[in-house]
Structure 1
Amino acid sequence: MAVWTRIRQSGLFWLWLAALVFAIDIGTKLLVMHTMGYGPANRIELLPFFNLTYVHNYGAAFSFLSNAGGWQRWFFTGIALVVCTLLGWWMSRSSRQVKLVNIAYALIIGGALGNVFDRMIHGYVIDFLDVYWGSYHWPAFNIADSAICIGAALIVLDSFRSEPSKA
């Protein structure tokens, strides 16, 4: 019983958000895989600046190292697991009331684990959100990538909001 009390009182309380991000990410990827054709030729145009386009990403952000021969799958999986472990440890050492930073960490953990799941199951990450302006297309991304970026932005925001430590 003491373990659950400790979890409820610590930043680990916010891991429900990581689980929600993970579930939404995997659910949307499964929906895309089962309802869309692969590749840009099968895109679904939704807005003048936004398409759904089912593609595979063998690398990391912006397809970094996507043509590296396969080792990058394990490299990025390892980095994600180390980061998730570190963020989880920090959450365990903070209070539940430290909302912004714990929410940020939970978003990053949920997104990172969503992409790890893809790498482990498929060997690549499923991307499908395509934002563009004219003929310039931002690299396709997914819900996990969005959660990671929002989490990182919240950490930066928190760094500006926090009071300086008194030394």
Structure 2
Amino acid sequence: MADAKGSASLWPWLGIALAVILLDQFTKTLILGYYQLGQGTPVTPFFNIVRVHNTGAAFSFLAGASGWQRWFFIGLGLAAAIFIVVMLKRHGGQRLFAWALSLILGGALGNVIDRALHGYVVDFLDFHLSGRHFPAFNIADSAITAGAALMILDELLRVRRGR
């Protein structure tokens, strides 16, 4: 139940984040169990399943660093998670915004789990066209992207309502 400030119960939003984490970790466990590093399976003319390890961040940013980036990205992910939980507590009544935050939270923690367990993030969704490949990604990355898109949509709708 939301109060006048727009806050609501935190539990449904944490449940969404947990669902993202579980789906993300389940798919990564399958990839780790069935594929060797670099091994892949063509699925369509533009999509492969491939096992890739990313020690960096988005688009392999800092992947070539000496190892310190693992702990940096774990810390950054945990700090972001704490901030997002605080935001969910304050704005849980704003449904679209809370959905966005929940997806981002689940995705961030899914990748933090990988870094903590393996020292890298397991990526496996590989889209390509005419020999050009988009960097491989995973369910957590997809959730973060969808959450960011929902956050932008929420802001655009908020601005439009303000006119």
TM-score between both structures, scaled by the size of structure 1: 0.88
Q: Number of residue pairs matched?
A: 156
**Residue identity in the other structure for 2:89:** S
Q: Is the 8 A contact 1:57 1:126 kept in 2?
A: yes
Q: Cα RMSD (Å) of the superposition?
A: 1.7
Distance 1:148 1:165 in 2: 26
| Structure 1 runs (4+) greater than 4 angstroms displaced | 163-166
**Residue identity in the other structure for 2:36:** G
- The residue that corresponds to 1:30 in the other structure is 29
Query: Secondary structure at 1:55's aligned position in 2?
Result: strand
Query: Secondary structure at 1:93's aligned position in 2?
Result: helix
Identity %: 47
- The residue that corresponds to 1:147 in the other structure is 143
Superposition deviation, residue 12 in structure 1: 4.5
Gaps of 5+ in 1: 1-7
Superposition deviation, residue 95 in structure 1: 3.7
Mean CA deviation greater in 11-20 or 115-124? 11-20
Q: Is the 8 A contact 2:36 2:51 kept in 1?
A: yes
TM-score between both structures, scaled by the size of structure 2: 0.90
Mean CA deviation greater in 9-18 or 76-85? 9-18
Gaps of 5+ in 2: 1-6
**Residue identity in the other structure for 2:129:** W
Among candidates 76, 83, 86, match of residue 89 of structure 1: 86
Distance 2:161 2:46 in 1: 44
Among candidates 103, 106, 118, match of residue 107 of structure 1: 103
Q: In structure 2, do the counterparts of structure 1 residues 142 and 95 end up closer, same or farther at CA, with 3 Å as the change threshold?
A: closer
Q: Is the 8 A contact 1:49 1:133 kept in 2?
A: yes
Distance 1:46 1:164 in 2: 41
Superposition deviation, residue 165 in structure 1: 9.1
Residues 4-153 of structure 1: pairs in structure 2 closer than 5 A: 9-39=8-38, 42-96=39-93, 98-153=94-149
**Residue identity in the other structure for 1:116:** V
Distance 1:54 1:33 in 2: 7
Distance 1:73 1:36 in 2: 23
Query: Secondary structure at 2:128's aligned position in 1?
Result: strand
Distance 1:161 1:9 in 2: 20
